Amino acid sequence: NVIPAALPRAMDESGVTLNWVFAGDNELQLINAHPTYVESHRGLSLVYQDAQGHAVTYVIFPGAATVAMPEAERVRIEQWRPVIRKENGFSLIMWKQQGLFCVLVADLVSDDDLARLKQHFIKVRSATDLVYSRQ
C-alpha cells in the first residue's frame, strides 16, 4: 500500500503527527491526506476509498477536552465505545484518542453500510498511533 505523498506536508500543516497510519487493505485504501480547518481549528483529514467506491474520511483535531461525548450515544465496537450519529445523509463515528478528537465520516447510512463503516473504524482505530505536536 502506498502512502499519499501529501501526508507529510498535511501532518506538518495540521500539527497532527501520525507515527503509524492505516494505509489500506483489500477493502479500504488511503487515497489522500490534507490539512482541515473547521471553525478556526486546524486538523488532519485522511481520505479513504472503499471497495464499493465510497469515500470514508478520517478527521483528527486537537482539543478533545472541549468536545462533549454524550454517554447515551456511545456504542460498543470491540473494546472501544465511540459515539455514532447519522446526520444529513452521513454516518459519523466519533471518539477521543490521546488528547485528539477523531471522526470517521462516510455516506454509509443503511444498516449494512453502517456495519461496514464499523469494520472500517476497527481497522483505522486499531492501526493509528496519534501524537499531537503543539507548534
Average pLDDT over residues 80-90: 93
Instruction: Tell me: pLDDT of 71 over 80.
Output: yes
The pLDDT tens digits for 2-23 are 677 888 899 999 988 887 788 8
Higher pLDDT, 131 or 11: 11
Own/partner contacts of 89-93, CB < 8 Å, gap of 24 or more, are 91/117, 93/117, 93/118, 93/121
Q: What is the predicted pLDDT for the residue at 132?
A: 47
pTM given for the model: 0.87
pLDDT band at 133 (very low <50, low <70, confident <90, very high): very low
Share of the chain above pLDDT 70, in %: 93
Asked if residues 89 and 105 have their Cβ atoms less than 8 Å apart, the reply is no
